[in-house]
């Protein structure tokens, strides 16, 4: 049900009627020729180049106006930025009929309306590059007023500083906050840089199913739906790992995917139920090669995104320049808790959790307990990019056993600014070992762990055909975007973060 219209919304609809009565279409045909952008004019216009700006055609949104009687100044905003425009009544309306200026421009147009203008460049007496308007065309009438900008005690603020408004009405946020548009532009640069890095090295971008009969590839709680025609339950993808490995079995040497994943879990500053993971798998490589490749890729990506290898988030400078520090998970726990847990069984780990005041429950096996200790007491200390390596086998059901260290696997997590950014393995390619690991996960499921992995028999069959030694990684794209754009909340790097349904009166 539509909300009750505000006074301003009612007035704008009345203006819409008046415009149509004057024969002006408030939503004309979409084609409008544009010769220049705001930034091109502001950066390029000068006394030496003014001949190039004698015929300007520009389109944008009216952001502010100053009424000076028979002449007005206004600010127009396009996708590149803002520029001042100057409109004089007698030039817009050279004949006796002054309605295009007195009625349409001054009374029927509002802030937020999108117009096209034709004119020429000039510099005002105050030195501001502007456009002298010779004619204008209404391209879109805005029926909802823009968020109002206010000032109090010298501080400028507006409705979009309210997070509820900001995330729910991202379109308005993008209009009034240019820095938000810049964030998402840089995120696109980041993704393009990653694609270029992978493509240049022989990676093949692929697509894998979002609807899956078995939610595999990660320890997570899935969303469940039902397919009516097949009359079976289906799960929204929690990871694409097992499908990408099937492609390695099939003979592709290097595959990657920007995978939209869904996990039915909590929400906070670093978690959204819908998010993007980059996963790639490379045959005949291991986790040591993957560490070197990852740090090279992230250094190049940081430079492509920001122009330098560093980024500042929450007042802390992060340097993505390779190489990164490496430390085993057991050594990290020993360093930050004083406990050497490398030889402990489940009972011993529970005693450590109790001593460290970490809450655990009966559903948690050895792997989950180690994860809780590291996450609760260690992770926050790793601000600069650090590879946490060599995990216990219980934490890693899809990972190859360590070639030298009993009870461990060849796995690393990349921690930056106290958060996991990437997870990588020397992939398990022994189908018998893999089945045993799945069966251990099934036991965890039976004791109540709703994030334990299902047994994927088709994936096991694929492994039985033979998967070459393979290195694989998953990188949290939103978390990386937060780091590279300096945002502390995942909601700020998602165009449309998940929110409760809006109550519209």
Contact 286, 294 (CB under 8 A): no
Backbone angles phi, psi at 78, to 5 degrees: -115, -165
Annotated binding-site residue? 446: no
Contacts of 98 by beta carbon, 8 Å cutoff, 6+ apart = 89
Contact 394, 372 (CB under 8 A): no
Distance between CA atoms of 361 and 441, rounded to whole angstroms? 17
Where does 256-407 have alpha helices with state H? 287-306, 329-337, 346-355, 366-377
Pick from 497, 299, 287, 505: which is nearest to 416 by CA? 299
Contacts of 212 by beta carbon, 8 Å cutoff, 6+ apart = 234, 235, 236, 237
Annotated binding-site residue? 241: no
Written as one string, the DSSP assignment of 156-176 is EEEGGGSHHHHHHTHHHHHHH
Strand (E) positions, 68-210? 71-78, 81-88, 114-123, 129-140, 149-152, 155-158, 204-205
Strand (E) positions, 179-307? 204-205, 211-212, 224-227, 232-236, 254-262, 274-283
Contacts of 420 by beta carbon, 8 Å cutoff, 6+ apart = 379, 413, 414, 476, 479
* Parallel, antiparallel or unpaired: strands 81-88 and 71-78: antiparallel
> Which residues carry a binding-site annotation for Mg(2+)?
413, 420
> Which residues carry a binding-site annotation?
413, 420
């Amino acid at each position: 049900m539509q909300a009750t219209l505000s006074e301003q919304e009612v007035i704008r609809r009345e203006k819409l009627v008046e415009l149509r009565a004057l024969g002006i279409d408030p939503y004309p045909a979409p084609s409008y020729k544009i010769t220049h952008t705001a930034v091109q004019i502001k950066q390029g216009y000068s006394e030496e180049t003014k001949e190039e700006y004698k015929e300007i055609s520009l389109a944008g949104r009216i952001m502010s106006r100053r009424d000076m009687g028979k002449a007005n100044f206004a600010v127009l905003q396009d996708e590149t930025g803002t520029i001042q425009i100057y409109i004089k009544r007698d030039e817009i309306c050279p004949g006796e009929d002054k309605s295009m200026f007195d009625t349409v421009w001054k009374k029927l147009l509002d802030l937020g309306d999108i117009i096209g203008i034709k004119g020429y460049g000039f510099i005002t007496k105050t030195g501001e590059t502007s456009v002298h308007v010779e004619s204008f065309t209404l391209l879109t009438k805005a029926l909802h007023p823009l968020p109002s900008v206010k000032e109090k005690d010298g501080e400028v603020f507006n409705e979009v500083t309210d997070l509820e408004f900001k995330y729910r009405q991202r379109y308005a946020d993008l209009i009034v906050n240019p820095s938000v548009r810049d964030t998402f532009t840089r995120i696109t640069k980041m993704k393009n840089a990653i694609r270029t890095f992978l493509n240049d090295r022989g990676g093949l971008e692929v697509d894998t199913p979002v609807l899956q009969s078995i939610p595999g590839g990660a320890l997570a709680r899935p969303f469940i739906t039902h397919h009516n025609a097949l009359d079976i339950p289906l799960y929204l993808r929690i990871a694409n790992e097992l499908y990408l490995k099937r492609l390695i079995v099939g003979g592709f040497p290097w595959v990657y995917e920007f995978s939209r994943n869904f996990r039915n879990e909590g929400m906070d500053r670093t978690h959204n139920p819908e998010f993007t993971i980059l996963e790639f798998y490379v045959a005949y490589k291991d986790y040591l090669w993957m560490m070197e490749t990852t740090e090279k890729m992230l250094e190049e990506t940081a430079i492509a995104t920001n122009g330098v290898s560093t980024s500042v988030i929450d007042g802390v400078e992060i340097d993505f320049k390779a190489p990164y520090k490496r430390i085993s998970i057991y050594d990290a726990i020993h360093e930050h808790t004083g406990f050497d847990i490398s030889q402990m069984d489940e009972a011993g780990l529970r005693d450590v959790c109790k001593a460290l005041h970490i809450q655990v429950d009966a559903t948690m096996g050895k792997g989950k307990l180690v994860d809780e200790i590291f996450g609760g007491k260690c992770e926050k200390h790793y601000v600069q990019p650090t590879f946490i390596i060599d995990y216990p086998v219980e934490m890693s059901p899809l990972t190859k056993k360590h070639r030298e260290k009993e009870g461990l696997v060849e796995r690393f997590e990349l921690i930056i600014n106290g958060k996991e950014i990437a997870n990588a393995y020397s992939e398990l390619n022994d189908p018998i070992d893999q089945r045993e690991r799945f069966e251990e996960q099934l036991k965890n499921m039976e004791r109540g762990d709703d994030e334990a992995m299902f047994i994927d028999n088709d994936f096991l069959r694929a492994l039985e055909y033979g998967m070459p030694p393979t290195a694989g990684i998953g990188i949290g794209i939103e978390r990386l975007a937060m780091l590279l754009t300096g945002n502390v909340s995942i909601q700020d790097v998602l165009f449309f973060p998940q929110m409760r349904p809006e109550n519209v009166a």
